[in-house]
Amino acid sequence: MKGLLRHIFPLSLRVRFLLATAGVVLVLSLAYGMVALVGYSVSFDKTTFRLLRGESNLFYMLAKWENGAIDVDIPENLNMESPTVTLIYDEKGKLLWAQRDVPWLAKRIQPEWLKRNGFHEIEADVDSSSMLLRNNHEIQEQLDAIREQGDDSEMTHSVAINLYPATSKMPQLSIVVVDTIPVELKRSYMVWSWFIYVLAANLLLVIPLLWVAAWWSLRPIESLAKEVRELEEHHREKLNPNTTRELTRLVSNLNRLVRSERERYDKYRTTLTDLTHSLKTPLAVMQSTLRSLRGEKISVDEAEPVMLEQISRISQQIGYYLHRASMRSGGTLLSRELHPIAPLLDSLTSALNKVYQRKGVNISLDISPEITFVGEQNDFMEVMGNVLDNACKYCLEFVEVSVRQTTDSHLHILVEDDGPGIPQSQRRAVFDRGQRADT
């Protein structure tokens, strides 16, 4: 299923980066936002409790105990327009005094609340909450709007309980202060509903920045893809090695792969050229023999061994180059196999000593056993076999092979013999393809 989705909706690296980063930003924003909102809520509750406790202390200071009853003398010049309702209970939970007569409110106060200081909440419907409000027209209008919408959700009111110990002039009292404005209608509570809009605005602002960051971060990959296209269209020879550190190894391997493929192609072309060159002579001999046979200059019996010899030579040449090509194609690209030099040259000198036994050639080797060769073993054996065979063929008696490895890991192989050598005039020409010094 995952593979099918990937096939139907292939995602670029930029889109993957954008989605992943946006997801991380969303999760972090939610986490930070929730922590901030919870912290704000706790702070809001503490602030509300302190305000309600201040109201409670005010009424305790105004309260008087006379004739077994409590009376609260509120001065005329004291502003009592705060959105609260105060109730006073004795130590047995009996209601002694109420700031306003709200029957349902006293029923919602739990007896166990009156035994200790605390902060609580009570639930009420819209009509009950409306009874708590006096002249707060703004809140009344909001409640009326909720009532008209048919919303039957309950309102939440904060309640602060404060206990005051008995004194010589006052028995133990529990003063209850109720916030008449529902929590849901406070402006500070609206931050919860704003949170989703703040989060959406945050994403709308962050996503363009993330897109720019993704575009800038992935530019090296786009440049690499462009260079690969130019490489395919033969507009460049190799990839630019001056790239980011993460792509350096990839670019280096790709350049090595391209170079190896070109070398492989050149080797195939060289092999075909060598094969064509090697077939020219036997084909020319066969053509000349056929012309002589047609002109009756030679008989069939005389032409047959010549033709068979040339056919055998052609077959050998084709087999040799096919075997050589198969060895090259069988190798792996970017091969870096290590081969010790000494055993390879030992096997070659052993075979050549048997071939030139009658001539009495003496081949000596000066090789350290730890010296190695990096590359194709068959190519090394073919090259060294040809060089040593020529040395044995044209020497007088002695052939010496010395091998040295330099500090920069280059291999130097020196083959010397006591023969006449190549004339000075031909030394440059023998390095041209198809040229020989003995013809």
Query: What pLDDT, on the 0 to 100 scale, is given for residue 10?
Result: 55
Q: What is the mean pLDDT of the chain?
A: 80
Query: What pLDDT, on the 0 to 100 scale, is given for residue 334?
Result: 47
CATH number of 338-431: 3.30.565.10
- Taking only the tens place, the pLDDT of each residue in 238-286 is 888 888 888 888 888 888 988 888 888 888 888 887 778 777 767 877 8
CA–CA separation, 255 and 163 (whole Å): 85
Look up residue 210 and give its amino acid: L
Angle, helix 219-232 to helix 245-294, in steps of 10 degrees:
10
Terminal-to-terminal C-alpha distance of the chain: 72
Q: Which superfamily is assigned to 28-194 in CATH?
A: PhoQ sensor domain (3.30.450.140)
Query: Nearest Cα to 351, choosing from 395, 378, 323, 386?
Result: 386
CA–CA separation, 161 and 316 (whole Å): 112
Higher confidence at residue 333 or residue 177? 177
Say whether 265-330 and 28-194 share the same fold.
no
Answer yes or no: CATH 1.10.287 is held by domain 265-330. Answer: yes
Per cent of the chain over pLDDT 90 is 10
pLDDT of residue 71 exceeding 90, the answer is no
Which alpha helices (DSSP H) does 356-399 contain, by range? 377-394
Of 4-8, 293-297, 415-419, the poorest mean pLDDT is in: 4-8
Query: Nearest Cα to 258, choosing from 284, 240, 270?
Result: 240
Q: What is the mean pLDDT of residues 50-64?
A: 85
pLDDT of residue 100 exceeding 70, the answer is yes
Query: What pLDDT, on the 0 to 100 scale, is given for residue 418?
Result: 93
pLDDT of residue 333 exceeding 70, the answer is no
Higher confidence at residue 58 or residue 330? 58
Percent helix / strand / coil, the chain, rounded to 5: 60, 15, 25
Q: What is the mean pLDDT of residues 337-356?
A: 85
Query: What pLDDT, on the 0 to 100 scale, is given for residue 4?
Result: 47
- Taking only the tens place, the pLDDT of each residue in 385-417 is 878 888 998 899 999 999 998 887 788 999 999
Indicate the pLDDT class of residue 209, thresholds 50, 70 and 90.
confident
Query: What pLDDT, on the 0 to 100 scale, is given for residue 366?
Result: 94
Domain boundary assignment for the chain:
28-194, 220-257, 265-330, 338-431
DSSP 413-437: EEEEESS----GGGTTGGGSTT--S
Phi/psi at 393 (nearest 5 deg)? -70, -40
Strands 155-164 and 362-366: unpaired
Question: Cβ(117)–Cβ(163) under 8 Å?
Answer: yes
- Taking only the tens place, the pLDDT of each residue in 6-35 is 544 456 777 777 778 777 877 877 777 777
